[in-house]
Amino acid sequence: MRFFLFLIFGIFAGLYFSWPGILIPKSWKCFNDIIVKSADDKISLKAAMEISPSYLLKGKNKKITSKIRIVADACFR
């Protein structure tokens, strides 16, 4: 039981230290807006500026985790 408590605490602490804005509702609105706009092929400039050149050069093997990281970096930092 103690292991799971430390595991959950570690996950939440890691997310908070990586993205301090994760607890702010305005940041979640930004996150949702980018997700909705990306479905319509309208990406915001803020999200486009977060994409690293190496990500673009890698090709078409883009995993869902890397897509979430880019959107989260754009909104939660």
Lookup result for tokens 């400039």 = 45
For 67, the domain range is 2-76
What Rg value do the Cα atoms of the chain yield, rounded? 15
> DSSP letter at 11?
H
This prediction's pTM: 0.57
- Measured from the Cβ of residue 34, the count of other Cβ atoms closer than 10 Å reads 21
Tens-digit pLDDT profile for residues 27-55: 888 888 777 776 666 666 666 666 666 66
Query: Lowest mean pLDDT: which of 12-16, 56-60, 65-69?
Result: 56-60
- Measured from the Cβ of residue 28, the count of other Cβ atoms closer than 10 Å reads 14
CA-closest candidate to residue 32, choices 73, 75, 77: 75
Give the three-state DSSP class for 13: helix
Count of domains forming the chain = 1
